[in-house]
Structure 1
Amino acid sequence: MSDSVVADQPWNRQRLRSANERLLLDRLRNHGPASRAQLARETGLSKPTVSSALAALEDAGLVHEAGTLAPERGRVAVLYAADPAAGYALGIDIGRSWLRIAVADLDGQVVSRSDVRNRARTSGAMADLVVATAQRVVAGSGGDPAAVAHAVVGTPGVYDEEQRRVKYAMHLPGWGRAGLFDRMREGLGVPLEVHNDANLAALGEYTYGVGAGSRLFAYLMIGTGLGMGVVSEGRLFTGAHGGAGEIGFLPWAGSPRPRTLEDAVSGEAVVESARSFGMTGQLTAKAVFDAARSGQPAAVKAVRLEGERIAHTVAAAAAVLDPDLVVLGGGVGHSVDLLLRPVQETLRALTPLRPKIVPGRLGEDAVLMGAVATALSTAREVVFDRHATA
Structure 2
Amino acid sequence: MTNDKIQVIGIDVGGTAIKLGRFTRDGTCLQSLTVASPQPTTPEAVLEVIVDAIAQIDPDNQAVGIGIGTPGPADAAGRIAKIAINLPGWIDVPLADWLEAKIAKPTAIANDANCALLGEAWLGAGRNFQNLILLTLGTGVGGGIILDGKLFVGHQGAAGELGLILFNPDGPMCNSGNQGSLEQYASATAIRRRTLKEPLELGLLAEAGDPVALTFWQEYGRDLGIGLTSLVYVLTPEAIVIGGGISGSFEFFLPAVKAEIEKRVQPLSRAGLKILPAELGNFAGIVGAAKLAWQNYSGF
Instruction: Tell me which interval the TM-score lies in, with the shorter structure as reference length.
Output: 0.7 to 0.9
Moved over 6 A (4+): 161-164
2:162 paired with 1:242: no
TM-score (norm 2): 0.84
Secondary structure of 1:314's aligned partner = helix
Which deviations, in whole Å up to 9, do the C-alpha atoms of 1:269-288 show, x marking residues without a partner?
A: 1222222xxx4xxxx43333
Q: Aligned match of 2:263 in 349, 357, 371?
A: 349
User: Structure 1 counterpart of 2:21, which letter?
Assistant: A
Q: Is the 8 A contact 1:128 1:184 kept in 2?
A: no
RMSD over aligned Cα atoms: 2.7
User: Superposed, which structure 2 residues align to 1:189-268 within 5 Å?
Assistant: 189-253=104-168, 255-257=170-172, 258-268=179-189
Q: Aligned match of 2:195 in 271, 274, 286?
A: 274
User: Structure 1 counterpart of 2:133, which letter?
Assistant: A
Which residue of 2 is the match for residue 188 of structure 1? 103
2:93 paired with 1:175: no
- Distance, in Å, in 2 between the alignment partners of 1:346 and 1:255 is 21
- Distance, in Å, in 2 between the alignment partners of 1:337 and 1:163 is 36
Which deviations, in whole Å up to 9, do the C-alpha atoms of 1:324-382 show, x marking residues without a partner?
A: 11111122223312221221123233323442201112122122111112212444x33
Query: C-alpha displacement at 1:179, in angstroms?
Result: 4.2
2:48 paired with 1:128: yes
Query: C-alpha displacement at 1:158, in angstroms?
Result: 1.2
User: Structure 2 counterpart of 1:365, which letter?
Assistant: F
Q: Mark the CA change 1:163 to 1:214 in structure 2 (over 3 Å): closer, same or farther.
A: closer
2:208 paired with 1:287: no
Higher relative contact order (CA 8 A, sep 6+): 2
Q: How many residues align?
A: 289
Secondary structure of 1:100's aligned partner = strand
Q: Mark the CA change 1:272 to 1:118 in structure 2 (over 3 Å): closer, same or farther.
A: farther
Which residue of 2 is the match for residue 308 of structure 1? 222
Query: C-alpha displacement at 1:185, in angstroms?
Result: 3.5
User: Superposed, which structure 2 residues align to 1:1-390 within 5 Å?
Assistant: 61-62=1-2, 82=3, 84-85=4-5, 87-118=6-37, 120-123=39-42, 124-139=44-59, 144-145=60-61, 147-160=62-75, 165-176=80-91, 178-253=93-168, 255-257=170-172, 258-275=179-196, 279=197, 284-352=198-266, 353-354=269-270, 355-379=273-297, 381-382=298-299
Q: Report which of the two structures shows the higher radius of gyration computed on alpha carbons.
A: 1
- Distance, in Å, in 1 between the alignment partners of 2:171 and 2:153 is 33
- Distance, in Å, in 1 between the alignment partners of 2:211 and 2:51 is 46
Query: C-alpha displacement at 1:114, in angstroms?
Result: 0.9
Which deviations, in whole Å up to 9, do the C-alpha atoms of 1:299-326 show, x marking residues without a partner?
A: 4444333322221232111010011111
Query: C-alpha displacement at 1:133, in angstroms?
Result: 2.0
User: Structure 1 counterpart of 2:29, which letter?
Assistant: V
User: Structure 1 counterpart of 2:226, which letter?
Assistant: H
